[in-house]
Amino acid sequence: MRPHLLAGFALSLVLVAPLAAQTAPTAPTLDPMTNDKVPSYEWVRPEADYVRREAMVPMRDGKKLFTVIVYRKGTTGGPILLSRSPYNATGHTTRNRSQKIEEILPVMDAPFVNDGYIRVYQDVRGLGKSQGDYVMTRPLRGPLNATKVDHATDAYDTIDWLVKNVPESNGKVGIIGSSYLGFTSLMALFDPHPALKAAVPQSPMVDGWMGDDWFHNGAFRTFGFDYFLGQTVEKGGGAVPSGTGDEYRGYLETGSSGAYARTWGLDKLPGVRKMMEHPAYDSYWQQQAVDKLLAARKLTVPTLVMLGQWDQEDSYGGPAVYKAVKAAQPDAPIMLGIGPWRHSGANYEGSSLGALKFEGDTALQFRMDWIKPFLDCRVKTNPAPCKAMPAAVTYATGANRWEVDAKWPAGSEMPLYLGANASLSWTRPDTAGSDEYVSDPAKPVPFLPRPIRMEGDAWRTWLVQDQRFVDGRTDVLTYSTPVLDKPVHIKGAPRVDLRAATSGRDSDWVVKLIDVYPDEATATPGMAGYELGIGIEIFRGRYVHGFATPAPLEPGKTYAFGWSLPNVNHVVKPGHRIMVQIQSSLYPLYDRNPQTWVPSI
């Protein structure tokens, strides 16, 4: 059958008269001299997957602290994770100008905000956009602080405001942060707010004289000059403009650290002046020692204190807090975490450090296996039960594995003796002996191969630098074991017991504990003969009678010097050797000891 068209067809047209064109009102033409500066630009667009709020949070003295609150859209009943920082809260929350929450926050924050956490960063008092005066390490209210506020009260007031003014939260708070942010995390533990349920201080500044940023066992760390300049001068640019690409030469040419400070006007900075006025471990330092202050109180907030095994800035503080609190309160809710990292390395990629390679991203492993579960079970709504807190979770470098211990330090002490002919032995020598070297203050031993810049990767990884660069120096004594036929596992803080004399009136003593790789290291390509520092630490001789009572040494008299190397978990493998080096300078990381008596170096 053929298809056919129907003849009937009607067409109806509706003609519409054209409407008059409507145009949007035009803005007046700008005057050529119109101010081009605008008060703000909202870079967070409607399509962003997060909410970012800024607030000026009031403190009890009327000052307001700038605070940034970030959470994924749709978050309800979320726990708050707080960090109090001197490094710009805006910067912490604008890693990239992005519409994705994972891109604007630090890498370590992603697992938290993706799991309903509300992330909060705050500028500490006097820095960034916060009001008030900035004191580098503001003491707690008391003999050194007659005001009504400190970091403990600021943390309390901030938490109180957050739980009352962030309706998306469940009213529970954890605090976390590294370095200075680790210090402020610890400060929150003094008279804590009831809503504070957990703390994770990482690489915290605890005692700036004993072994954190400014001094180690009385020896001044010159890198502090750059830090003070960058932190305390308006628009400070960081490094001192010394005009040299080699800080070894720059410091040497000015003489002493005091002369360096005066040359560059650093002696005018209040923070530098405080250190110059308190070169010994007097009440100024003792009354700010956070480990001692915490031990004097009952710790009620569960705390995971952690650090990197090769932390080049704050290796002392975390273990000191753990040790002091446990000694005073054996059942304290505190545990220690140590990973194979540099300073603050837990917050970055952790599959390597310098020439060292590990089994996977150790930093991510610790964040996901320990930090997040530690916080989750304490601050989330209806969480799974918390697992028991071990004494310590540490990474055994050399063997490349995580280990969990019921006590710290683990194991037992085993002495290692210096011997004749540059030997190192587990057996005490039958007869006493001695070795000597000439230490010339005009030619100090560098802590890195020259030229030296205390910045970037060279600074971050200096503790794992191959120590062969000092080979051939006559002012470095070197002792070594035979090649090991079985592994040696070191867990804890190796203790130095040194009997030494000097022809001068003062001296520094530096001891390095070193893992020497085989000359043919087929299992670790590129590491043949490598001399890896397991622990490196200094002691200023004038403090042999006590850190608060410096005194000149008697030339020729033998003294017993004792101090600890940083905490480690390291396995020296069979086929390797253990080496000990002794020298009298580590320059210019530590200022030069003139090796004669002066009241203050």
Confidence (pLDDT) at 524: 80
pLDDT in tens, 125-169: 999 999 999 999 999 999 999 999 999 999 999 999 999 999 999
> Cβ distance 217 to 543 under 8 Å?
yes
Higher pLDDT, 459 or 5: 459
Q: Is 416 helix (H, G, I), strand (E, B) or coil?
A: coil
The sign of the CA dihedral 287, 292, 296, 300 is positive
Query: Per the structure block, which two tokens stand in for 384?
Result: 């799974």
User: Which value, in Å, is the radius of gyration of the alpha carbons in the chain?
Assistant: 29
Give me the mean pLDDT over the 549-557 stretch.
98
Angle at 128 between CA 124 and CA 107, to 5 degrees: 80
Confidence (pLDDT) at 357: 97
Q: Based on the number of CB atoms within 10 Å of its own CB, is 230 exposed (0-12), middle (13-18) or buried (19 or more)?
A: middle
Asked if pLDDT for residue 12 goes beyond 90, the answer is: no
Strands (E), 188-246: 196-202, 215-216, 219-220
Asked if pLDDT for residue 243 goes beyond 80, the answer is: no
Q: What are phi and psi of 356, to 5 degrees?
A: -85, 140
**Helices and strands in the chain, H and E counts:** 15, 24
The whole-model pTM stands at 0.92
Q: 417-583 has which fold?
A: Jelly Rolls (2.60.120)
Stretch among 7-16, 125-134, 374-383, 447-456 having the lowest mean pLDDT: 7-16
Confidence (pLDDT) at 43: 81
pLDDT in tens, 307-331: 999 999 999 999 999 999 999 999 9
Give me the mean pLDDT over the 102-111 stretch.
96
Query: Per the structure block, which two tokens stand in for 426?
Result: 């587990």
**Cα(254)–Cα(263) distance, rounded to whole angstroms?**
7
Give me the chain's average pLDDT, please.
93
Question: pLDDT band at 8, cuts 50/70/90?
Answer: very low
**Non-local CB neighbours of 543 within 8 Å, separated by 6+ positions:** 217, 218, 280, 281, 549, 550
pLDDT in tens, 245-287: 899 999 999 999 999 999 999 999 999 999 999 999 999 999 9
Stretch among 38-42, 174-178, 401-405, 486-490 having the lowest mean pLDDT: 38-42
Ramachandran region of residue 213, left (φ > 0), alpha (ψ -120 to 50) or beta? alpha
Confidence (pLDDT) at 411: 80
Q: Which of 379, 372, 384, 319 is nearest to 198 (CA)?
A: 379
Strands (E), 143-269: 169-178, 196-202, 215-216, 219-220
Give me the mean pLDDT over the 224-238 stretch.
77
Give me the mean pLDDT over the 348-360 stretch.
97
Confidence (pLDDT) at 128: 96
Q: 218-284 has which fold?
A: alpha-amino acid ester hydrolase ( Helical cap domain) (1.10.3020)
Confidence (pLDDT) at 3: 40
pLDDT in tens, 175-196: 999 999 999 999 999 999 999 9
**Cα(98)–Cα(441) distance, rounded to whole angstroms?**
53
Query: Per the structure block, which two tokens stand in for 364?
Result: 């991510």
The domain ranges of the chain are 50-207+288-405, 218-284, 417-583
**Cα(206)–Cα(226) distance, rounded to whole angstroms?**
20
Confidence (pLDDT) at 1: 39
pLDDT in tens, 329-352: 999 999 999 999 999 999 999 999
Confidence (pLDDT) at 527: 95
Question: pLDDT band at 26, cuts 50/70/90?
Answer: confident
The CA distances from residue 75 to 72, 93, 117, in Å, are 6, 18, 8
What angle separates helix 224-232 from helix 270-277, to the nearest 10 degrees? 140
Asked if pLDDT for residue 410 goes beyond 60, the answer is: yes
Report the Cα 350 to chain-centroid distance in Å.
15
Confidence (pLDDT) at 245: 87
Give me the mean pLDDT over the 540-565 stretch.
98
Confidence (pLDDT) at 60: 98
Query: Per the structure block, which two tokens stand in for 299?
Result: 């710790």
Higher pLDDT, 52 or 11: 52
Q: Which of 108, 100, 103 is nearest to 72 (CA)?
A: 100
**Cα(339)–Cα(181) distance, rounded to whole angstroms?**
18
Strands (E), 406-529: 417-419, 423-425, 477-480, 488-492, 495-500, 508-516
Structural domain 50-207+288-405, CATH architecture: 3-Layer(aba) Sandwich (3.40)
**Cα(330)–Cα(110) distance, rounded to whole angstroms?**
35
> How many residues are present in the chain?
601
Confidence (pLDDT) at 2: 41
Asked if pLDDT for residue 586 goes beyond 90, the answer is: yes
